[in-house]
Structure 1
């Protein structure tokens, strides 16, 4: 029996793009990635708890296996791409004040435009 789930717009954007590139349906792409992820987790080549610990800074990445480093790097890059609440608040305040460079609600880079003098 099919089930519905909700995924964030950011995830769906990635799924849609990859499904087009791989000539799969959206559901097919998600199922494909799910099977890969499950196989990797069960492979014994890495320990997800160790990767999580490295992401949290509790262990050094030098302690990870090559397979664990690959997964850690993907997760690390993904986390870097997501602004935190403090960063969002900082740029929202700058936008309110009409100052500096920031990001709009869609994550696009904005630059300050010189105010016109009357």
Structure 2
């Protein structure tokens, strides 16, 4: 499971924000020299949209970074193994299982060509065998 590049950029900047907080430097004062201007502009835009101050927006992102640190127990590699059938979803912890369930549901909404071919062939075999497809709940 991949994290969007902009999210990674914001999370990487959390360390800078934490450093600023420990030195009681206002993000507004530090923005020109320490915090990347792209991050400050993104924060200004998001702050305006959410009716927050720049400082409050940056603090919000800092707290989200802290939350992400707490989620280190999530093994995204293990989720991928479960999605490919290499391990059972029952082997995942609660957080991993939640991510697995969401990803699995998304994948099931869009069947791939192999799945479409499989079910087309299954339907053909059922018709040849004389199954009444209306009684099977299929078309």
Normalising by structure 1, report the TM-score.
Answer: 0.39
Q: Which has the higher contact order (CA 8 A, sep 6+)?
A: 2
Normalising by structure 2, report the TM-score.
Answer: 0.34
